[in-house]
Amino acid sequence: MNQVMSFFSKLIPPSRKGHKNFERGRAAELRADYSKAEAYFTTAAEAFDAHLTLLETEGEEARPSHLVMAGICYTRTGRFEDALRVLDACIERKKIPDAFLNAGYAAAKLGLADRTVAYWQAYPDWAGQRVIANTLTDLVKAIRKQENPDLQGACEAVALAVAKQDKTNQRDRRFRDRGHKHSEFRQGY
């Protein structure tokens, strides 16, 4: 049975495997099952590595949605240089809110205060993610005021804001599902 499953798993494109494991990782984060989330994000990052390498050898460009998912996976698994590389490519092609959020996070983890401010300041207002937007605005102000800003503390604040925004979005999604509100969660990809 395992040989049959192994055969079929080779038929799945790496972009699909990356996308599915990204979604599973996000779902695990929402359940606060962080060890499973890390495992899913690691699998997704490996699949996106294969996908991006394949596209590069074929001379094709990755879809912005795949770039942002790969960047988020790289950020979640501590591959901050890789995250900045793919998120910058994404931002050049499409202004996806999560690309700015995670690029700023990766830059902060690498100690790049100016780049952190630039990404977080560019977080689009139209995203409708008020908790995240307010946190980023406050952090940008704080980082600019300090000679040696606490970027690791800023990352912790962003992680808390994302968790709080996810809870707010879950509540709002249940409200929308009853037909009372029309808004999209995670617009742009």
Q: What is the pLDDT of residues 100-122, one digit of tens each?
A: 999 999 999 999 999 999 999 99
| pLDDT tens sequence across 172-187 | 877 555 555 444 445 4
Q: Where in the chain do CATH 1.25.40 domains reside? A: 13-94
Q: How many C-beta atoms surround the C-beta of residue 168 within 10 A?
A: 15
CA distance 73 to 37: 10
* pLDDT attached to residue 173: 75
Supply the DSSP string of 106-128, one letter for each residue. Answer: HHHHTT-HHHHHHHHHT--GGG-
Rounded to an integer, what distance in angstroms lies between the CA atom of residue 147 and that of residue 154?
Answer: 14
Query: How is domain 13-94 classified at the CATH fold level?
Result: 1.25.40
Looking from the CA of 108 toward its CB, the CA atoms found within 13 Å total: 27
pTM, rounded to two decimals: 0.87
pLDDT at 11 over 80: no
Percent of the chain with pLDDT over 70: 86
